[in-house]
């Protein structure tokens, strides 16, 4: 049998038990990448020889039977350090200098037995909800004419196309949840401080996290990235001989025996002037009804965020661009990046970079708007994914308009520093997946994973796009 298409939990269990070797699993996934990525463009670099050598060395490790991700092929987003490779961050202007050491998240994945098979494409400096750059246009496996989202779009496309079971990404204004929603995947942006952040942490808003096709895989990858195996789901944590944060959560929260949570449903949470596709709104309502059927108390959240919060998110986006271009030759930057940074400098000159409103939202605004619920359910996207094009060559108005109309629902929770995730929930009439966003207060990652598990049981989703 081929292990391509298997979950990370299935692969690791088989490698630990000697049913298959890590080199065989990795070779099969490298073959899948060679066969499929020409149509998708998920990878900037495929590390075929290194990955096979890494898999052979892994197979000889004495601790192989205890490794949580034994032999699991993973992809790494091109904005964190991978030892021996340059991190280009989607740009020709960044240094082409190999990293001396892995980023801590990459090191933890490798220590847990994962094998890095490649580095995935991102938009320049990860500044957009698409994944086109000088290195090519990444396409959505569900509809190659559409974007897989961004900025972790290459990672999402690699998982959705079945080229890897797990991928790393990060999320500064929605960059895990947006591509997960575009590609029919699970992703989780952990709360601040749980996982070591990327180098460019965007005022403390950007968090590293995983993309996966099953809740068990997502929880296991998050546990490894956090360096806390108790975050794994009950079955997997027991197999590894550790406790589970889901088991130990106050009230006995498990995926099969849930807490009775108060779930607020907000199909239209955006500031005035922005709207959400009607099918996406119905998916939010449907997900909330499924959680109600599982025993939770579901309440309506009819409030819309203020324009001030929305403006702070946009100003913060410009400010991040301003900071990230420092030290880079502008001649090597794309038109969009130069325009975003120019606007960031202009706003900073007038003291309008969003910092005050961002801090106010994090200090108390998010908690007040969230209300007395345990978990909030919202749309992840507001519209279907836009076309896969070279958006980086276009100017500020086009990029701002498209980003704000299709993906405005995630940034507020980066500014708050709260955990949030995407869960697939149905298909749009366009044929693309629909995702719903679950948000919890700080420390609520286990709650989110448990609710995602209930949605997975209530309405299973296709784990991979049907590539033709």
256 flagged as catalytic: no
| Residue 174: strand, helix, or coil | coil
pLDDT of residue 1: 81
The end-to-end CA distance of the chain, in Å, is 21
Nearest CA among 378, 175, 179, 182 for reference residue 276: 378
- Whether the pTM exceeds 0.85: the reply is yes
Beta strands in 159-315 (DSSP E): 166-171, 186-189, 207-212, 262-265, 297-300
91 flagged as catalytic: no
Determine which helix (DSSP H) or strand (DSSP E) holds 74, and give its type and residue range.
strand 73-77
- Contact assessment for residue 67 and residue 16, using Cβ atoms and an 8 Å cutoff: yes
DSSP-assigned beta bridge partners for residue 133: 136
Directed axis angle between helix 396-406 and helix 335-349, to 10°? 90
CA dihedral 288, 293, 295, 300 (to 10 degrees): 30
- Separation in Å, CA 32 to CA 26, 27, 29, 265, 443: 10, 9, 5, 40, 37
Q: What is the largest CA-CA distance in the chain?
A: 63
DSSP-assigned beta bridge partners for residue 75: 118, 167
pLDDT of residue 467: 78
User: Can you say whether the dihedral through the CA atoms of 357, 398, 173, 368 is positive or negative?
Assistant: positive
What does the block give as tokens for 136? 């090519």
pLDDT of residue 244: 47
Rounded Cα–Cα distance for residues 435 and 190 (Å): 17
- Contact assessment for residue 173 and residue 194, using Cβ atoms and an 8 Å cutoff: no
175 flagged as catalytic: yes
What does the block give as tokens for 98? 């190999």
Nearest CA among 455, 284, 282, 259 for reference residue 374: 259
| 3-class DSSP string for 357-393 | HHHHHHHHHHHHHHCCCCEEEEECCCCCCCECCCHHH
Determine which helix (DSSP H) or strand (DSSP E) holds 425, and give its type and residue range.
strand 420-427
pLDDT of residue 241: 54
For residue range 377-427, list pLDDT tens digits in order: 999 999 999 999 999 999 999 999 999 999 999 999 999 999 999 999 999
What does the block give as tokens for 169? 């990404």
pLDDT of residue 236: 62
Among the listed residues 6, 7, 77, 187, the single catalytic one is 77
Among the listed residues 87, 131, 133, 175, the single catalytic one is 175
**For the chain, what's the residue count?**
468
| Residue 115: strand, helix, or coil | strand
- Mean pLDDT, consecutive 10-residue stretches, the chain (468 aa), reads 96 98 98 98 98 98 98 99 98 98 98 98 98 98 98 98 98 98 98 96 97 98 96 67 42 50 98 97 98 98 96 98 98 98 98 96 97 98 98 97 98 98 98 98 97 98 89
């Amino acid at each position: 049998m081929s292990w391509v298409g298997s979950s990370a939990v299935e692969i690791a269990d088989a490698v630990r038990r000697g049913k298959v070797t890590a080199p065989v699993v990795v070779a099969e996934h490298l073959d899948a990448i060679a066969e499929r990525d020409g149509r998708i463009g998920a990878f900037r670099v495929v590390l075929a020889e290194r990955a096979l050598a890494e898999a052979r060395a892994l197979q000889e490790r004495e601790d192989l039977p205890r490794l949580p991700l034994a032999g699991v092929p993973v992809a790494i987003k091109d904005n964190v350090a991978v030892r021996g490779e340059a991190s280009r961050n989607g740009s020709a202007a960044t240094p082409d200098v190999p990293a001396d050491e892995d980023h801590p998240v990459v090191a933890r994945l490798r220590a847990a037995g994962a094998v890095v098979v490649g580095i995935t494409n991102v938009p320049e400096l990860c500044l957009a909800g698409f994944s086109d750059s000088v290195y090519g246009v990444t396409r959505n496996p569900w509809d190659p004419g559409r974007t897989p989202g961004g900025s972790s779009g290459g990672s999402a496309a690699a998982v959705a196309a079945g080229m890897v079971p797990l991928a790393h990404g990060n999320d500064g204004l929605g960059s895990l949840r947006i591509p997960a929603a575009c590609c029919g995947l699970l992703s989780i942006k952990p709360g601040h401080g749980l996982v070591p952040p990327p180098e460019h942490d965007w005022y403390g808003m950007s968090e590293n996290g995983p993309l996966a096709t099953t809740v068990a895989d997502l929880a296991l990858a998050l546990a490894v990235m956090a360096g806390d195996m108790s975050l794994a789901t009950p079955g997997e944590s027991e197999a590894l001989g550790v406790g589970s944060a889901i088991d130990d959560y106050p009230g006995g929260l498990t995926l099969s025996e849930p807490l009775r949570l108060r779930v607020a449903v907000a199909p239209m949470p955006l500031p005035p002037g922005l709207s959400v596709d009607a099918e996406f709104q119905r998916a939010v309502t449907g997900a909330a009804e499924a959680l109600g059927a599982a025993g939770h108390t579901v309440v309506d959240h009819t409030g819309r965020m203020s324009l001030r919060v929305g403006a702070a998110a946009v100003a913060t986006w410009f400010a991040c661009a301003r900071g990230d271009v420092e030290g880079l030759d502008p001649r090597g930057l794309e038109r969009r990046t130069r325009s975003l940074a120019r606007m960031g400098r202009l706003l900073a000159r007038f003291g309008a970079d969003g910092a005050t409103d961002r801090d106010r939202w994090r200090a108390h605004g998010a908690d007040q708007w969230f209300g007395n619920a345990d978990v909030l359910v919202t749309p992840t996207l507001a519209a279907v994914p836009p076309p896969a094009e070279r958006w980086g060559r276009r100017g500020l108005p086009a990029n701002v308009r498209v980003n704000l109309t299709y993906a405005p629902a995630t940034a507020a929770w980066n500014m708050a520093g709260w955990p949030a995730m995407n869960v697939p929930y149905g298909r749009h009439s366009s044929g693309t997946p629909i995702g719903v966003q679950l948000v919890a207060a700080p420390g609520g990652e286990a709650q989110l994973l448990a609710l995602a598990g209930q949605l997975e049981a209530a309405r299973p989703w296709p784990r991979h796009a049907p590539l033709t």
